[in-house]
């Protein structure tokens, strides 16, 4: 990708494109500057949430990390706003309908709810590092998991990664700028795009416990409220599985 032709404009710094990095998140963490944008064509140690690895195919995927200030609604909303920004950018650039699985997995309903993008956020004194990976032009046979998809596999080949990146950055900056609190436009937009609310879900925690219940809302702190047989729990971290009817 030629970063010089992608111009997201203020507040973003000029885009830095690296042929290979261990991790784009690590590069931002090592030299943190607010609104910095780092793109890696290939990551050797890319990772996702809950310690999972995240692999991308060079030239066909987008791996980008940025550093943003904490939003008005609190740092817990940054991962959610990042998912909202990808959701909006994919719709704008590729014309593909997506939905968000809490907190920020970008799913394609028309492709059996396969995962198109993943996001990992890390907190620093300077702000929040947001690492985003999007499968853009990867062929289905080259995807790492059967539950993953790409724009190409979902029927939209040839999307320009630079155009998608610029749209994502614009929408992320917009979500942060329009964050005016629990009833602000950004929070309401995320809640509208989140397909988890109203679904029966399994909550898989890091300690191996699995709880089943109904997702009732995303609260003002960005946590998922899940009503189980005994109580309503507020989930701030964990892996959510949508339970299919039947």
Give me the residues of the chain with pLDDT under 70, please.
Answer: 1-5, 45-57, 245-246
Under 8 Å between Cβ of 138 and 150: yes
Q: Tens of pLDDT along 127-172?
A: 999 999 999 999 999 998 999 999 999 999 999 999 999 999 999 9
Q: Give start and end residues of each alpha helix (H) in 56-197.
A: 78-94, 161-177, 185-193
Q: What is the pLDDT of residue 244?
A: 79
Do 78 and 123 fall within a single domain? yes
pLDDT at 43: 84
What phi, psi does 191 have (nearest 5°)? -60, -35
Regarding whether 100 and 19 lie in a shared domain, the answer is: yes
**Pair (217, 175) in one structural domain:** no
What are 2's two structure tokens?
């030629």
The predicted pLDDT at position 227 comes to 95
Last residue of a domain, one of 193, 209, 230: 193
Based on the domain organization, do 149 and 104 belong to the same domain?
yes
Residues 185 and 66 in one domain: yes
pLDDT of residue 2: 64
Beta bridge partners of 234: 225
Kind and range of the H or E run holding 26: helix 24-30
Q: How far apart are CA 196 and CA 190, in angstroms?
A: 11
Scanning the structure block, which residue is given the tokens 């997506």? Answer: 98
Cα distance between residue 148 and residue 211, in whole Å: 24
3-class DSSP assignment, residue 216? strand
pLDDT at 6: 76
Could you give the CA distance from residue 103 to residue 83 in angstroms, rounded to a whole number? Answer: 8
Regarding whether 121 and 162 lie in a shared domain, the answer is yes
Positive or negative, the CA dihedral 192, 198, 201, 203 is positive
Is residue 64 located within the same domain as residue 143?
A: yes
Please state, in angstroms and rounded to a whole number, the distance separating the CA atoms of residues 147 and 143. Answer: 9
Q: Report the domain count for the chain.
A: 2
The whole-angstrom distance between residue 227's C-alpha and the CA centroid of its chain comes to 25
- Do 173 and 210 lie in one domain? The reply is no
Give the per-residue pLDDT at 86.
98
* Same-domain check for residues 188 and 231: no
Note whether 105 and 118 are within 8 A (CB): yes
Based on the domain organization, do 125 and 232 belong to the same domain?
no
The two tokens of residue 230 are 């005994």
* CA–CA gap between residue 33 and residue 167 (Å, rounded): 21
Domain coverage including residue 216: 200-242
Tell me, what's the pLDDT at 50? 47
Q: What is residue 205's predicted lDDT score, i.e. its pLDDT?
A: 81
SS3 label, residue 219:
coil
Query: Looking at residue 208, which CATH number applies to its domain?
Result: 2.30.30.100
The residue among 195, 193, 192, 198 whose CA lies nearest residue 213 is 198
Residue that is last in its domain, among 193, 212, 228: 193
CA atoms lying within 13 Å on the CB side of residue 107: 20
CATH no. for residue 105?
3.30.930.10
Residues 205, 163, single domain; the answer is no
Q: What is the pLDDT of residue 173?
A: 97
Compute the distance between CA of residue 168 and CA of residue 83 in angstroms, rounded to an integer.
10
Q: Which of 38, 118, 36 is nearest to 69 (CA)?
A: 36
Please tell me whether residues 73 and 10 are part of one structural domain: yes
């Amino acid at each position: 990708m030629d970063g010089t032709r992608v111009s997201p404009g203020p507040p973003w710094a000029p885009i830095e494109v690296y042929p290979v990095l261990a991790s784009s998140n690590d590069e931002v963490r090592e030299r943190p500057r607010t609104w910095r944008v780092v793109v890696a064509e290939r990551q050797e140690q890319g990772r996702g949430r809950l310690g999972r690895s995240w692999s991308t195919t060079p030239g066909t995927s987008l791996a980008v990390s940025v550093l943003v200030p904490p939003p008005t609604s609190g740092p817990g909303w940054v991962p959610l706003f990042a998912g909202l920004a990808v959701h909006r950018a994919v719709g704008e650039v590729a014309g593909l309908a997506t939905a968000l699985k809490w907190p920020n997995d970008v799913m394609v309903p028309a492709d059996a709810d396969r995962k198109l993008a993943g996001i990992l956020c890390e907190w620093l004194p300077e702000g929040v590092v947001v690492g985003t990976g999007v499968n853009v032009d990867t062929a289905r046979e080259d995807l790492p998991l059967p539950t993953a998809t790409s724009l190409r596999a979902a029927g939209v080949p040839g999307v320009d990664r630079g155009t998608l990146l610029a749209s994502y950055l614009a929408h992320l900056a917009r979500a942060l700028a329009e964050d005016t609190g629990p009833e602000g436009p950004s929070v309401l937009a995320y809640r509208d795009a989140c397909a988890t609310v109203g679904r029966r879900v399994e909550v898989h925690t890091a300690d191996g416990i699995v709880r089943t219940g109904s997702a009732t809302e995303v609260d003002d702190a960005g946590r998922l409220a899940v009503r189980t047989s005994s109580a309503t729990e507020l989930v701030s971290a964990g892996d959510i599985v949508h339970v299919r009817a039947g």
